[in-house]
Structure 1
Amino acid sequence: MRLRALISRLVLPAAVSALAVGGLALPAQAEPELGGFAYIGILSPETVTVINGQSKTVKFDLYNLSEVAAEDVVLNFGSTSEPISEDLGFVAPAGCTGNACVIGDFKPGQRRSVKFTVKPAASGAADPASSITLTTSIGGQLSDETSITVVRTDKGGADIEVDDIADLKLSPGGSAEVPVTVRNSGNKDVTALGLVVAAPVGVTPALNYSNCEKDTDLGGFVCVFNDTLAAGGIFTLPDNMPLRIKVPAGAAGPYDYPVLVAAIGLTEKYVFDFAKRTAGASGRELTLEPVASVSAREPEPADDLNEDDNFTQFSVTVPKTAADSAAIGGVFEGEAGDDRSVKVGLHNLGPSAIIPPGMAWIQYVHVKMPTGVLLTRADDRCLPGTSLIDIDETVTDLSEVTDLVCLVLESVPDNGRHLFTLSAEIQDAEHEAGAVTVDGGVQDSRSGNDTAALTVKTTGGTGGGLPITGAPAGLVAGGGAALLVAGALAYRMARRRRIVTVAE
């Protein structure tokens, strides 16, 4: 797989990436309140390729994809109806009893990495592919179920892996060094290696070396090592040339910012093109140091057997900071029959940024339209409804909409504004003022400025309400919502729809 294709597939956190594609099949015990039940999702590779006679460690994640704690979580491998084939050489994680593993309790949004190993017989396997079923339960009730197909091969190949990296806790302005270890657990060499470090939101990785190229789309770096990663080899970054993660001074919290580290074998063409782009770059050249001595041999090109373990993800937890979200109202001004637009939303009065959207919280603005106007156009980020758990999907005629929920799909910086454009036709009628109300979340301790008026002013002097001063001149450049946000939103919206269906 080409480097850019791998980056595109893996750069986002696995949980949100999966949710953005199509959501999750949620259990039937849903309650009529969003976040009223716990859900432990399994995020695992679909297929793992194993060399016959060689041990392979398989890694996957368990996520609490809900807003409530999950207690008494149990993970099971296989079942009575779908037992694990004995010739796979399956070994459950340490501490499990048989194929059942007591995982314990999960906080909302918590992620845990789990590993098991397989070691199929050296030869003579009757079935080249077998499946291992994984299920999670909460308090004895089924939560999620999936399966991993294990494909066996005698051919072999290179198999790059990136070791787990522990989560960090950093305050705004802080930084820390992060250890990076790359393995080739296959039986063929990798002739050149690419290392990718990506932080889509909130934190900043630092790899300022001559063979590392900054990629603004990733929020990180791509580093190229034109050296052989021998079969069975283990490599790490030198102590004096570490990966450092920095948290900007105005970073928002509480929030867990995801960081991804990935490695992939490179083609000669990519290495050549990269060398041309970075020719003359200043600074030292980043190197990889072998952790264990490995006998090198003449390298040969080989595909990677398992791309799903070419990366690891960790989070940087930033503690709670303060951010005062003030509502921005507006005025529809004109004569009866005129179609007029306003820009409403929020102004972050700081002193820090507002936390980005996530599984636990998405900032929104509730717009109550004034009377005597008919909504004609709404911002793409606005939906009919009064809150995230009260979205009216049955509305097809904008003129019938009186309330809107406008989603803030990014982190608003200190002193930044996030605006939504609404258009309405002014009617010859009484105009009672509406309102713009912002949800400031846990960072906002001041409620006095959470609501601003949305009014109508007719040029004939019959309109109601007063203009709101200080309205900003234009939209803030945003660049669109990342898939991270789209996934979280998709999850919440899909979950709400399923809850409605169950309630009926």
Structure 2
Amino acid sequence: MRLRALISRFALTVAVSGLAAGGLALPAHAESEVGDFAYVGILSPETVTVINGQSKTVKFDLYNLSTVTAERVVLHFGSTAKPISADLGFTAPAGCDETSCVIGDLKPGQRRGVKFTVKPTALDPAKSIVLSTSVGGQASDETSIAVVGTDKAGADIEVDDIADLKLSAGGSAEVPVRIRNSGNKDVTALGLVVAAPAGLTPALNYSNCEQDPDLGGFVCVFNDTLAAGGVFSLPENTPLRIKVPAGVAGPYDYPVLVAAVGLTDKYVFDFAKRTAGASGRELKLESAASISAKEPDAVDDLNEDDNFSEFTVSVPKTAADSAAVGGVFKGEAGDDRTVKVGVHNLGPSGTIPPGLAWIQYAHVKLPTGVLLTTVDMRCIPGTSPTDIDETVTDLSEVTDLICIVLESVPDDGRYLFTLSAEIQDAEHKAGSVTVDGGVQDAKRGNNRAALTVETTGGTGGGLPITGAPAGMVAGGGVVLLAAGLIAFRLARRRRIVTVVE
């Protein structure tokens, strides 16, 4: 299966990792904490290969990787030091000039797709296009794309852009899919990959489609030749549909990925054996254009970064009643006891998945007279996501924790955090567990529960507890977790196109 890694599409992971290390703040914001300013990153291919004499459309994305709205975003082409060479035949996106493009405002986590065209007249040596973003007139991100020419024949599969959808719980819609081969070599077999996050359901109940848990989506196999210059689409009688089941949380923009890849004969043969006897109709492709190509020596897909299209399904606001779950440390002085505290979603829908705009959390205030011995890895010393306690170096110092909910909690589901503490021979004043239910939670009366100590007799106490908290202690940890969600999406893209032949 010709599914290679989209390494350049994974570049944002490196950027996020740099943020996590605390060293990727821009000079203009060097004294700001991560997330206090708007940062718009560029996610683009590192290299674009153009068949000599042809033009090539280059697609890339802009992401607001901050927790605040990025205002007055501008995308810049080239720079004073590195202007775009005339030999590249650069054509700016529609509505933009040759040096810049006004993007406008981007909300936290929002993606904006951009594309331009090149038609080089000379590519010896290869030349680069510098891209950069600014927010409110301040520099944000910068990268470059190398443009390389080739005389070799090769397929170049592309998936056309897919518009975002708006669907309420229980709704569904057809997704228009167009796959083209802009190269000069035929693709003899084609694979269609559709991946959606937990909560959305691609409707692909066809005999030539199977669910692949490793890819986190569906794979459909077409033993049809996509000729050079050809275009395939899904006909009306066998469409791709996306369904939003009842109970899915909103407001939230759920990402969906549609990718197309060339397949080896071996993969097609193995797939046919696995799906032999499968019931249901066969998902078909219909040709919209065809220009036959000769059969030169086989080469890989020239540009794998545009083998997919990502779109979002926007689900409007739903209700979810988040109730706090408390607990009791019960035992004698000196005993080490464990509690599980957190969130109980009383429905009727799931809770919003984590994102840059909002992450659900529980604030755990410990009762007095206990010393923590074990802290859940999802918990951070502090009282709120904006008040992380970076001074804590010893478990005995911890009095408050912020515990992060890293996934959507379904209706009547619980998301709990495990804490262990040694009961001390001291006064025990009750603590609490307080959950943030966000915009979905209209019933605030159950957002707090008690966390107490119940002694059963005995005196004394154990040895002093030492050691750093087991959870995260780095400042801005909550923000970085949110930024990591974007990186996770990109990692999933990479995984989809990293299947062994």
1:344-379 C-alpha deviation (Å, 9 max, x unpaired): 011101111000001111111111111111100011
Give 3-state SS (helix, strand or coil) of 1:308's partner: helix
Query: CA, structure 1 residues 288+171, in 2 after alignment: closer, same or farther (shift >3 Å)?
Result: same
Shift of 1:41: 1.7
Contact persistence 2:13–2:484 (CA under 8 A): no
Shift of 1:86: 1.8
Instruction: Please give the alpha-carbon distance, in whole angstroms, between the structure 2 residues aligned to 1:107 and 1:212.
Output: 36
- Unmatched tracts of structure 2, length 5 or more: 460-478, 487-501
Contact persistence 1:175–1:245 (CA under 8 A): yes
Report the counterpart of residue 488 of structure 1 in structure 2. Answer: 482
Give 3-state SS (helix, strand or coil) of 1:82's partner: coil
Report the counterpart of residue 159 of structure 1 in structure 2. Answer: 156
Task: Say which is worse superposed, 70-79 or 112-121, in terms of deviation.
Answer: 70-79
Matched, 1:443 2:437: no
Shift of 1:201: 2.7
Contact persistence 2:2–2:300 (CA under 8 A): no
1:302-322 C-alpha deviation (Å, 9 max, x unpaired): 310111100110000000011
Report the counterpart of residue 201 of structure 2 in structure 1. Answer: 204
Report the counterpart of residue 116 of structure 1 in structure 2. Answer: 116
Report the counterpart of residue 496 of structure 1 in structure 2. Answer: none
Task: Say which is worse superposed, 93-102 or 30-39, in terms of deviation.
Answer: 30-39
Report the counterpart of residue 476 of structure 2 in structure 1. Answer: none
Matched, 1:340 2:334: no
Shift of 1:156: 3.1
Report the counterpart of residue 402 of structure 1 in structure 2. Answer: 399
Matched, 1:195 2:187: no
Report the counterpart of residue 100 of structure 2 in structure 1. Answer: 100
Contact persistence 2:249–2:350 (CA under 8 A): yes
Task: Say which is worse superposed, 86-95 or 50-59, in terms of deviation.
Answer: 86-95
Amino acid at match of 2:68: V
Contact persistence 2:19–2:34 (CA under 8 A): no
Q: Which structure 2 residues correspond to residues 362-441 of structure 1 after superposition, within 5 A?
A: 362-441=359-438
Contact persistence 1:62–1:113 (CA under 8 A): yes
Query: CA, structure 1 residues 197+70, in 2 after alignment: closer, same or farther (shift >3 Å)?
Result: same
Give 3-state SS (helix, strand or coil) of 1:272's partner: helix
Shift of 1:396: 3.2
Instruction: Please give the alpha-carbon distance, in whole angstroms, between the structure 2 residues aligned to 1:183 and 1:487.
Output: 37
Give 3-state SS (helix, strand or coil) of 1:291's partner: strand
User: What number of residue pairs does the alignment pair up?
Assistant: 465
Report the counterpart of residue 322 of structure 2 in structure 1. Answer: 325
Runs of 4+ deviating beyond 6 Å: 13-16
Amino acid at match of 1:84: I
Contact persistence 1:158–1:187 (CA under 8 A): yes
Contact persistence 2:42–2:143 (CA under 8 A): yes
Shift of 1:489: 4.9
Amino acid at match of 2:150: T
Q: Which structure 2 residues correspond to residues 243-392 of structure 1 after superposition, within 5 A?
A: 243-295=240-292, 297=294, 301-392=298-389
Shift of 1:32: 5.4
Task: Say which is worse superposed, 96-105 or 353-362, in terms of deviation.
Answer: 96-105
Shift of 1:16: 7.1
Q: Give the TM-score, by structure 1 length.
A: 0.87
- Unmatched tracts of structure 1, length 5 or more: 463-484, 493-504
Contact persistence 1:235–1:288 (CA under 8 A): yes
Shift of 1:2: 4.5
Amino acid at match of 1:455: T
Query: CA, structure 1 residues 192+43, in 2 after alignment: closer, same or farther (shift >3 Å)?
Result: same
Give 3-state SS (helix, strand or coil) of 1:273's partner: helix
Instruction: Please give the alpha-carbon distance, in whole angstroms, between the structure 2 residues aligned to 1:180 and 1:289.
Output: 11
Identity %: 76
Report the counterpart of residue 126 of structure 1 in structure 2. Answer: 124
Contact persistence 1:76–1:136 (CA under 8 A): yes
Instruction: Please give the alpha-carbon distance, in whole angstroms, between the structure 2 residues aligned to 1:41 and 1:89.
Output: 25
Q: Which structure 2 residues correspond to residues 30-69 of structure 1 after superposition, within 5 A?
A: 30=29, 35-69=35-69
Shift of 1:491: 7.9
Which of residues 229, 234, 237 is equivalent to 1:232? 229
Instruction: Please give the alpha-carbon distance, in whole angstroms, between the structure 2 residues aligned to 1:250 and 1:219.
Output: 21
Shift of 1:108: 3.2
Instruction: Please give the alpha-carbon distance, in whole angstroms, between the structure 2 residues aligned to 1:72 and 1:460.
Output: 64
